[in-house]
Amino acid sequence: MSEHPFFFTWSAQRGAKPVEIVGGEGASFDVREGERVERWLDMGSLSYQANLGHGCRRVIDAMKRQCDELLLTVPSGGYPAKDALARKLLEHAPPGFTKVFFTLGGAEAVENALKIARLATGRHKAISRYRSYHGATMGALTLSGDHRRPPLEPGLAGVVHVLDQYESRLPGGARVIEGGADASAIARTIELEGPETIAAIFLEPVPGANGALVPPAGYWSGVRGACDRHGIVLVADCVLDGFGRLGSWYGFERLGATPDLITISKGLTGGYAPLGAVLVHERIAKLFEDRVLLAGLTFYGHPIGVAAGLEAVRVYEDEKLVERAAVLGARMGAEIAAMQDRRGETITKTRAMGLLAGLEIAGDAARFTRLSKALDARRVYTHPNARIRTLIVAPPLVITEDELLRGLRAIEDAIVESA
Burial of 267 (0-12, 13-18, 19+ CB in 10 A): buried
CA distances from 371 to 30, 83, 156, 407, 412 (A): 21, 46, 37, 14, 10
Tens digit of pLDDT at every position of the chain (419 positions): 878 999 999 999 998 999 999 999 999 999 999 999 999 999 999 999 999 999 999 999 999 999 999 999 999 999 999 999 999 999 999 999 999 999 999 999 999 999 999 999 999 999 999 999 999 999 999 999 989 998 888 999 999 999 999 999 999 999 999 998 899 999 999 999 999 999 999 999 999 999 999 999 999 999 999 999 999 999 999 999 999 999 999 999 999 999 999 999 999 999 999 999 999 999 999 999 999 999 999 999 999 999 999 999 999 999 999 999 999 999 999 999 999 999 999 999 999 999 999 999 999 999 999 999 999 999 999 999 999 999 999 999 999 999 999 999 999 999 999 98
**Pair 88, 336: CB distance under 8 Å:** no
CA distance linking residue 123 with residue 198, whole number of Å: 6
**Pair 203, 234: CB distance under 8 Å:** yes
Q: What is the DSSP string of 55-76?
A: --HHHHHHHHHHHHH-----TT
| CA-wise closest residue to 266 among 46, 22, 77 | 46
CA distance linking residue 158 with residue 199, whole number of Å: 10
φ/ψ region of 399 (left if φ > 0, alpha if ψ in -120 to 50, else beta) reads: beta
Full set of structural domains in the chain with CATH: 21-55+321-417 (3.90.1150.10), 59-318 (3.40.640.10)
